[in-house]
């Protein structure tokens, strides 16, 4: 692959304002080409791009196209920076009026040097907010696609889409469906801006001369944006897009104030303390209605609770480090007997594998989705009283660290991602409901109907109002059953379309819709009745042997005090709603005397950024 850096533009506005500036602050920059102006971290703008592409394992040659007016500047720069002087191409223009334009400059380089290879094109006078992105990721993604590649980024809030080339990108195929060069307001809702950073296949290079031959106006008026509009919108050529989690600014024809503004903004971002840790929490959930039908195209309602959580902390570091938890990932024991007891109760697998699997899948996802990640390392550590939430909390940290937005990884897809980490990478039995609630947080209604799951790959998820919820309680055994035993052979019976199981899953969905109405109407008596019905329906399908004696004992105990009760998940715990406050206190004592752990649920309300409900 060949790289061509374009620096042939005539920045007359910026050059004139620097020359006429009466503050004296910029007098030393008079006559300096745009690409050789100061950039981030004290480097010249072009220095950064040359350091980025100066890799023989990626590029066989790197060329620089400049104009006659500034040729001597770049010749001297090439000599000082070990850039091959013979690869500096002079397009012959001396003024803005006679300049060839970026498309013609690229075509000149290809024609004059008889290039017949894939080409990466970069504007060498472009400020890049992120000085650490990995250009090798761009090439790998380009190689994975059958056609051209355009780099884009998400506009800053202060940037107007009418000033940039805007792309509309298919989220599934990453194909650019439409390119709009400096669109007027209302033509598109996209905020994805293309920059002069492209990968072009060798068999597409001939389109450059074809495009130029069609242009009646002077070549200096022709932009790359017009070329891509023609190639994508008119010629219907497949072109793909890759997002970089950073901002770009072409110095182009901007004035001195814009240049200093963007330089200051991007430099400030680079100065942001890398040592400041990112800490994210994810919370456990309780299934209030419909479970376990989430795995059977049913409907459920569940809620995150602040009683149980996983907290992950990420801090930038020279190498990537995963820190073992002193309790969950023990490597030192008091004795062989100590090791035996801990291993028998907790097994051999702690939380470290969840961190590692999440990082692996995150890199894999971003590579496949065309999202380039910065070349930054980090240290991850965690604390938790509910290990299953570690994946969700880790993903939050990674997204914040790499500036991955909700558009890059939408919430429904994020839930699927978390589930895949557990099931595909670690072979942990898990359900989608838990991951959806961890992502959306709060009180969530979920519809996993077969039609939705097959058509869009995820269900319909709706956040419900959490205000004025009644006091729910939770009790659990010290040695809970696992998901595999609880689910028993129900899945096979469902796949075999056994009428009892199929009808039960439909009924779970109906109960969930009724519970949604009860929640909206604040009809807590009806909700309590529905919770009891949910348990009895589950019992009829799974039978007592599968539910386990410990779970049944807790249900029976709760009902002695008139409390609604059901299983909140796969087993080992019960969730209840007791509307009689006096009996609630008595019931708490009875559970404790029975050797169970009992607590009142504190719902986690994300909209309030705090916990809601009663303690």
Handedness of CA 166, 170, 172, 173 (dihedral sign): negative
CA–CA dist 255, 14 (Å, integer)? 5
Q: How far is CA 491 from CA 292, 364, 485, 583, in A?
A: 11, 30, 12, 38
Structure tokens at 17: 């304002």
Tell me 44's DSSP state: B
Structure tokens at 176: 């650019």
* Strands (E) located in 486-563: none
Under 8 Å CB-to-CB from 519, ≥6 apart: which residues? 301, 443, 464, 465, 527
DSSP string covering 301-349: EEEEEEEEEEEEEEEE-SS-EEPPPTTTS----S-HHHHHHHHHHH-S-
In degrees, rounded to 5, the angle at the alpha carbon of residue 352 between the alpha carbons of residues 347 and 354 is 95
Of 434, 447, 468, 545, the catalytic one is 434
CA–CA dist 600, 613 (Å, integer)? 10
Under 8 Å CB-to-CB from 354, ≥6 apart: which residues? 387, 390, 391, 394, 421, 422, 426
Listed residue (401, 407, 363) closest to 272, CA to CA: 401
Q: Which residues of 286-319 are buried (b: 16+ CB within 10 A; e: fewer)?
A: bbbbbbbbbbbbbbbbbbbbbbbbbbbbbbeeee
Under 8 Å CB-to-CB from 346, ≥6 apart: which residues? 328
CA–CA dist 294, 105 (Å, integer)? 58
CA–CA dist 20, 558 (Å, integer)? 83
Structure tokens at 406: 């909700």
Active site residue 434: yes
Cβ–Cβ < 8 Å for 79, 40: no
Active site residues: 434
């Amino acid at each position: 692959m060949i790289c061509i850096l374009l620096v042939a533009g005539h920045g007359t506005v910026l050059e004139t304002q620097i020359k006429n500036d009466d503050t004296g602050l910029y007098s030393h920059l008079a006559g300096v080409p745009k690409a050789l102006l100061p950039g981030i971290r004290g480097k010249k703008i072009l220095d950064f791009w040359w350091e980025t592409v100066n890799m023989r394992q990626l590029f066989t040659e790197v060329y620089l196209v400049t104009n006659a007016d500034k040729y001597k500047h770049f010749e001297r720069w090439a000599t000082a920076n070990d850039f091959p002087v013979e690869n500096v191409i002079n397009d012959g223009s001396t003024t803005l009026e006679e300049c060839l334009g970026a498309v013609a400059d690229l075509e000149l380089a290809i024609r004059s040097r008889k290039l017949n290879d894939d080409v990466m094109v970069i504007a060498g006078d472009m400020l890049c907010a992120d000085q650490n992105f990995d250009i090798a990721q761009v090439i790998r993604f380009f190689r994975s696609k059958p056609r051209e590649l355009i780099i884009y980024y998400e506009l800053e809030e202060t940037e107007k889409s009418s000033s940039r080339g805007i792309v509309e990108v298919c989220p599934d195929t990453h194909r650019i469906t439409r390119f709009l060069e400096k669109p007027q307001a209302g033509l598109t809702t996209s905020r994805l801006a293309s920059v002069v950073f492209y990968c072009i296949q060798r068999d597409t290079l001939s389109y450059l001369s074809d495009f130029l031959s069609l242009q009646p106006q002077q070549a200096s008026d022709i932009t790359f944006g017009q070329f891509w509009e023609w190639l994508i919108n008119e010629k219907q050529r497949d072109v793909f897009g890759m997002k970089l989690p950073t901002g770009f600014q072409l110095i182009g024809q901007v004035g001195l104030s814009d240049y200093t503004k963007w330089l200051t903004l991007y430099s400030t971002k680079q100065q942001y303390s890398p040592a400041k840790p990112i800490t994210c929490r994810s919370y456990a959930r309780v299934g209030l209605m419909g479970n376990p039908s989430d795995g059977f195209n049913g409907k459920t309602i569940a809620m995150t609770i602040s009683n149980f959580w996983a907290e992950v902390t990420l801090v930038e570091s020279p190498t990537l480090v995963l820190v073992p938890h002193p309790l969950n990932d023990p490597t030192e024991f008091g004795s062989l007997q100590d090791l035996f007891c801990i291993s028998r109760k907790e097994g051999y697998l702690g939380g470290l594998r969840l961190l590692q699997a999440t990082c692996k899948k995150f890199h894999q996802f971003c590579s496949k989705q065309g999202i380039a990640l910065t070349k930054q390392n980090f240290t991850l550590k965690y604390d938790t009283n509910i290990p299953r939430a570690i994946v969700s909390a880790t993903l939050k940290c990674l997204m914040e660290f790499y500036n991955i937005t909700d558009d890059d990884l939408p919430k429904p897809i994020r839930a699927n991602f978390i589930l895949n980490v557990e099931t595909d990478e670690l072979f942990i039995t898990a359900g989608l409901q838990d991951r959806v609630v961890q992502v959306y947080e709060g009180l969530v209604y979920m519809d996993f109907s077969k039609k939705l799951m097959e058509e869009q790959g995820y269900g319909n998820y709706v956040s419900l109002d959490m205000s004025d919820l009644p006091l729910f309680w939770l009790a659990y055994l010290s040695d809970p059953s696992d998901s595999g035993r609880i689910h028993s052979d129900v899945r096979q019976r469902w796949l075999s379309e056994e009428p009892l199981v199929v009808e039960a899953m439909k009924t779970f969905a109906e109960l969930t819709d009724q519970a949604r109405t009860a929640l909206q109407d604040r009809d807590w008596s009806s909700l309590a009745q529905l919770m009891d019905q949910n348990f009895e329906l589950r019992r009829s399908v799974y039978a007592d042997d599968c539910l386990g004696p410990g779970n049944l004992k807790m249900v029976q105990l709760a009902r002695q005090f008139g409390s609604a009760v059901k299983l909140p998940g796969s087993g080992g715990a019960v969730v209840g709603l007791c509307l009689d406050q006096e009996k609630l206190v008595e019931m708490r004592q009875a559970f404790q005397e029975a050797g169970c752990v009992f607590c009142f649920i504190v719902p986690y309300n994300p909209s309030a950024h705090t916990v809601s409900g009663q303690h």
